[in-house]
Amino acid sequence: MLLDGSCFRLAEAGPFRVGRKALAVNLSDIAAMAAKPVAAFAAVGLPRRGGRDIAEELFRGLRSMADQFDTAIAGGDTNSWDGPLVISVTLVGEPMGRGPVRRRGAQPGDWLFVTGPLGGSIHGKHLDFTPRVNEALQLHAVVNLHAMIDISDGLATDLAKLCAESRCGAAVRAEAVPISDDARKMDDNLSPLEHALRDGEDFELLFAVSPEDGRRLLADGALCQIGECVADGLWLERAGTREPLAPQGYEHKLE
């Protein structure tokens, strides 16, 4: 569910990119299980003023993602109200050959990879990212994915989730974390590495494989080995030292 003013600002992003993102975040969740997307259901709460134009652009955005990933828009629900734009998409997927990949299944000694550079997605990638559906299906076909998650709340936070489900720990090598150009453009008191570790909504995949499978994947220049699974704890290694890696990232706050 994407909410105007919280997950995006309609006036800045425009309805096409919001519709695109509403399906893309779901495609990213399906990718994280190495499944194939099948059919999407979209419900919208449209502001009364300009609602028809917004609806048409939203649908064009949904359609662009659906076409790109061969997914049906199979149903949904249309409402108008006095509030801001809300869109909620549910996506049905189909497990592939080896079955769905889960967050649990990583083991100490496994190698950890990410599918692309991280951090600073607020500069635009959070709206315009390409969900890693095809990459996940290709990986699933050639290696045994022990555990996988998409990075929506930040590398450190999502790694902590994967480790908690797998009942193991992880050590990340600072110099191995791929830092995006957008992370380097951030102008605040956090370093580019901290942005790569903490920022949400990169929607790259984080996964664990055996060292044998990991060695086979190193030939693929798009994949970055960022560390290994260990018995317990979350650690950041740099310059020969190891410090705790706090699972800081995006959290929804309630009062």
Which residues in this chain contact its own copies in the complex, by CB under 8 A? 1, 3-7, 41, 43-46, 48-52, 55, 77-84, 86, 88, 90, 92, 252-255
- Cβ proximity to its own copies: between 165 and 237 the closer is 165
Rounded to the nearest whole angstrom, what is the least distance from the CB of residue 48 to its own copies in the complex? 5
CA–CA gap between residue 34 and residue 136 (Å, rounded):
5
Nearest residue (CB) to its own copies, 41 versus 248: 41
Q: Are 45 and 83 in contact (CB under 8 A)?
A: yes
Q: Which is nearer to its own copies, 81 or 242 (CB)?
A: 81
Instruction: Tokens for 190, please give them.
Output: 């956090």
Shortest distance, position 57 Cβ to its own copies, whole Å: 14
Q: How far is the CB of 41 from its own copies (least distance, A)?
A: 5
Shortest Å distance, C-beta 166 to its own copies: 20
CB of 89 to its own copies, least distance (A): 9
With respect to its own copies, which residue has the nearer C-beta, 66 or 229? 66
Smaller CB distance to its own copies: residue 38 or 176? 38
